[in-house]
Amino acid sequence: MDIKHICCIGAGYVGGPTMAVIAQKCPHINVTVVDINEKRIAAWNDEDLSKLPVYEPGLDKVVEEARGRNLFFSTEVDKAIDAADMIFISVNTPTKTYGKGKGMAADLKYIELCARQIARVATSDKIVIEKSTLPVRTASAIKSILDNTGNGSEVKFQILSNPEFLAEGTAIEDLLDPDRVLIGGDTSTAEGKKAIQALASVYANWVPQKQILTTNVWSSELSKLTANAFLAQRVSSINSLSELCEKTEADVNEVAKAIGMDSRIGSKFLKASVGFGGSCFQKDILNLVYIAKTYGLNEVADYWEQVIIMNDHQKRRFAHNIISTLFNTVSGKKIAFLGWAFKKDTNDTRESAAIYVADELLNEQSKVAVYDPKVSEEQMYADLDYLNTRSSEENREGVSVFNNPYEACKDAHAIAVLTEWDEFKTYDWQKLYDQMQKPAFLFDGRGILDTDALEKIGFVCYKIGSGKNPEI
């Protein structure tokens, strides 16, 4: 089957960059990315490439090359669905905030709406691909909707699962040179195999064949949850040891290096931090926990839930360390945050540790001053408002946002590093020190700064997982 038209529903952090790369690498395929959010689509179409709604290194170049040639961004969802041979569903699947499975299960309402819309609009056969991370067996729900709610025409649908493994901040690199591409489909029928092949041949335009794996749908869906659960577990594991290191004279970076050289363990994803964030890790683990509980597998559920419990503890512990180090009160004190994004090189803030640390400090009546190179002020307030801990006005009163780090840190009692942006390492730390209240405290939640050098300037430093932290 020769694919000529691709439609992607959802122009977010996954849909946007993924389709941009497909369009760049497959000039013979027309790729249309649609979204119901008009502002977002307008931003994707903005002449000024610095206004793209997703910040990713290298994304602007890819969009510049393909946009208007074979990459289009539009709000005309129905039209794009009908014209496509292949439809990617890349809409958001947040954790449910209401009803059964509240706080655990994925909310599939956006996915279901998409499936119903495709069924209503389609007049020719379609390959429908789930790209959003979903609980195992969602493909069968999509299939049931597509097969039973049609518009009366004899349209046939094939459902594939094609989870996305890109990490934000390195999305373009990851898409251009993926460790693997995973395609799950109906391996028991000829039509199913044909659909798998059609998608594999799109990727084969730039991904070596041996890196394209095909499995049944359930294995593919579960692999995505498992990959994220394993990665998050590594972070929680090293973070749990960071606390032990702080109580002993061990150094978590030395421990990480020593264990990472064991090829069975590997060196990646062993960086102790203030806690993992991002749209996937927590949501996918909660999903896994919920599914396990649904099947009565309580030990399995408890095992994975511990990864989240540890992560919540790490974020809270960091905030409480600040409070106790500042003589048990931060009331009225300015605490400067360097970084708000959940990791460097992205403007995404979903589940960022910074939000939760700020929330704890605001509970203690601290004045939080934030600088982040890419996150907007509006986004920071929206993140805090979403927690519903206090009123919107109180959040605005407690948090001020700066577009200059030196201003943010002026007169502060402490600086806390929440994101590992490279530029933080290059600041004039003497200048920052000179402008601060004394003693000038520094809390490095990412272990990126040379705290020995900062201590020579006069800072009192706390570094995650260091046995040399000041006694508190």
Question: Which residues have a Cβ under 8 Å from the Cβ of 135 and sit 6 or more positions away?
Answer: 105, 106, 108, 221, 225, 287, 290, 291
Comparing CB distances to ligand UDX, the nearer of 258 and 472 is 258
- Please calculate the CA angle 286-162-31 and round it to the nearest 5 degrees: 125
Least Cβ distance, residue 97 to ligand ADP (angstroms) = 15
What are the strands, taking DSSP E only, across 20-74?
A: 30-34, 71-74
From ligand UDX, ligand ADP, none, which one binds at residue 114 (CB under 5 to 8 Å depending on kind)? Answer: ligand ADP
CB of 305 to ligand ADP, least distance (A): 23
Residue 427 touches ligand ADP, criterion: CB under 6 A = no
Binding partner of residue 278 among ligand UDX, ligand ADP, none, CB cut-off 5 to 8 Å per kind: ligand UDX
Residue 280 is a catalytic residue: yes
CB of 443 to ligand UDX, least distance (A): 15
Query: Does residue number 132 form part of the binding site for ligand UDX (CB under 6 A)?
Result: no
One of 279, 346, 352, 419 touching ligand ADP (CB under 6 A): 279
> Which is catalytic among the residues 7, 26, 114, 280?
280
User: Which range in 7-15, 121-129, 207-215, 356-364 contacts ligand ADP by CB under 6 A?
Assistant: 7-15
Subset of residues 40 to 79 that bind ligand ADP, contact rule: CB under 6 A? 40, 77
Angle at 231 between CA 299 and CA 260, to 5 degrees: 110
The secondary structure of 280-344 as a DSSP string is SHHHHHHHHHHHHHHTT-HHHHHHHHHHHHHHHHHHHHHHHHHHHHTTT--TT-EEEEE--SSST
Closest CA to 166 of 279, 25, 267: 279
Q: Examine residue 273 and tell whether it contacts ligand UDX (CB under 6 A).
A: yes
User: Of 19 and 235, which has the nearer Cβ to ligand ADP?
Assistant: 19
ω into 439 cis (within 30 of 0): yes
* Residue 166 binding result from ligand ADP, ligand UDX, none, given CB thresholds of 5 to 8 Å by partner type: ligand UDX
Residues 6 or more apart whose CB falls under 8 angstroms from that of 147 comprise 157
3-class DSSP state of 387: helix
Cβ pair 447, 273 in contact under 8 A: yes
**Residue with smaller CB distance to ligand UDX, 132 or 158:** 132
Find the helix packing angle between 217-247 and 281-294, rounded to 10°.
110
110 is a site residue for ligand ADP (CB under 6 A): yes
| Contact criterion met (CB below 8 Å) for 390 and 381 | no
Tell me the two tokens of residue 356: 């939760």
- Residue ranges that bind ligand ADP, judged by CB under 6 A: 9-15, 34-37, 40, 77, 90-92, 110, 113-114, 132, 279
Residues labelled as active-site residues: 280
- Residue ranges that bind ligand UDX, judged by CB under 6 A: 164-168, 228, 231, 235, 269-271, 273, 276-278, 280-281, 342-343
